[in-house]
Amino acid sequence: MNTTDYILEQLQNLISIDSPSGFTHKAAQYVIEELTRLGYQPQQTAKGGVLCALGGKEGEGLLMSAHIDTLGAMVAEVKENGRLRLSPVGGMQANNGEAETCRIYTRGGKVYDGTLQLINPSVHVNEDYKTIQRTFDTTEVVIDEKTKSKAETKALGIGNGDFVCFDPRFIRTASGYIKSRFLDDKLSVAILLGYAKSLREENLTPARPTYLHITVFEEVGHGGAASIPAGVTEMLCVDMGCVGDGLECDETMVSICVKDKNGPSNYEMTSRLIALAKEKGIPYAADVYPFYGSDADSALAAGHDLRHALIGAGVYVSHGYERTHLEGVQATYDLIRAYTL
């Protein structure tokens, strides 16, 4: 299997595992098992992430991170009508999740299906349907069970604190586009697995000690705050590249973030990434992300002394039903190889 096919296989496998922030154990275990199968010795951090040494020659260490956690929700209230009021996990938006199917994971191990709907959602009986603001107070999860009361829903084992995970709807088109929820950031995890696989298959050694950190709390702001190996002086965060008005990136490119909401990326690192993209003919864009934070930001905020940069395949409709392209995946993979080998 070539690397691109492997990355897509890993992406689809990862996407199929529900893993909102705080509910990532199955996804993390999958990554551990896959890295072990490739011949590495990954370790699970106390926080629940995955840290793995890829080897490398002597020198200052490089940490490459991507996050396995996604957006989602948690049951905040079992309502008197038996339906569920949600509290978002991460930046999940009610207006984006409306009419989306979901799964409710109970603490007792049961899983139920449902749909997030506007309260009173039928157009034929609600004349205010068009004008109601969609929030988690004006929407509710309708459970696909015969329940019409709080007592009946609680009897199913559903309660406050249960995680609610939304259907990703993964699609790969004949024209090379990939559409799914949660490409942010399972796409980057799959790309880094592809990189790890290529090192083994091609008998390659990174130019310096290189580590992977697959984090689990990025979407709530502290994924990369810990577990930086000794000797690491650079952090290359691999996350989704922004696509939108005022930015040059599209889905067929690798995006190099020169500044996010917290400030500029490291000048020397971003300059080298841009120079390598030009030298290797890798399609790229250098962009400013106005409303974006990353694992690199949380690592710096935690006090780690690091140079930092951020790259990622261009992803359209971030935090929604996202879209990227195989060319953007390839460009990101190629830039990682160029920077590390």
* Three-state SS at 105: strand
Active-site residue 58, yes or no? no
Tokens standing for 51? 């840290």
**CA-to-CA separations, 35 to 6, 212, 234, in angstroms, rounded:** 13, 10, 22
DSSP for 225-291 reads SS-PPTTEEEEEEE-PEE-STT----TTSEEEEEEETTEEPPHHHHHHHHHHHHHHT--EEEEE-TT
User: What is the C-alpha to C-alpha distance for residues 153 and 222, in angstroms, rounded to an integer?
Assistant: 34
Segment 288-331, tens digit of pLDDT? 999 999 999 999 999 999 999 999 999 999 999 999 999 999 99
Contact 166, 97 (CB under 8 A): yes
Q: pLDDT tens digits for 189-198? A: 999 999 999 9
Share of the chain above pLDDT 90, in %: 100
Residue in 76, 37, 36, 68 with CA at minimum distance from that of residue 52? 36
Q: What is the pLDDT of residue 190?
A: 98
Strand (E) or helix (H) holding 182:
none
Q: Are 66 and 215 in contact (CB under 8 A)?
A: yes
Q: pLDDT per residue over 83-114, tens digit each?
A: 999 999 999 999 999 999 999 999 999 999 99
CA angle 274, 220, 331 (to 5 degrees): 25
CATH superfamily placement of domain 72-166:
Peptidase M42, domain 2 (2.40.30.40)
Any idea where the domains of the chain sit in the sequence? 3-70+182-340, 72-166
In tens, the pLDDT along 203-253 reads: 999 999 999 999 999 999 999 999 999 999 999 999 999 999 999 999 999
Q: What's the average model confidence in pLDDT over 184-190? A: 98
R_g of the chain computed on alpha carbons? 21
Q: What are phi and psi of 245, to 5 degrees?
A: -60, 135
Out of 140, 218, 219, 251, pick the active-site residue.
218
Cα–Cα distance measured from residue 271 to residue 52, given in angstroms and rounded to the nearest whole number = 27
Query: What CATH number should be reported for the domain whose range is 3-70+182-340?
Result: 3.40.630.10
What is residue 94's predicted lDDT score, i.e. its pLDDT?
97
Q: pLDDT tens across 138-181, in order?
A: 999 999 999 999 999 999 999 999 999 999 999 999 999 999 99
Residue 315 CB coordination number (10 Å): 27
CB 49 within 8 A of CB 69: no
pTM of the predicted protein model: 0.98
Look at residue 1 and tell me whether its pLDDT is greater than 90. Answer: no
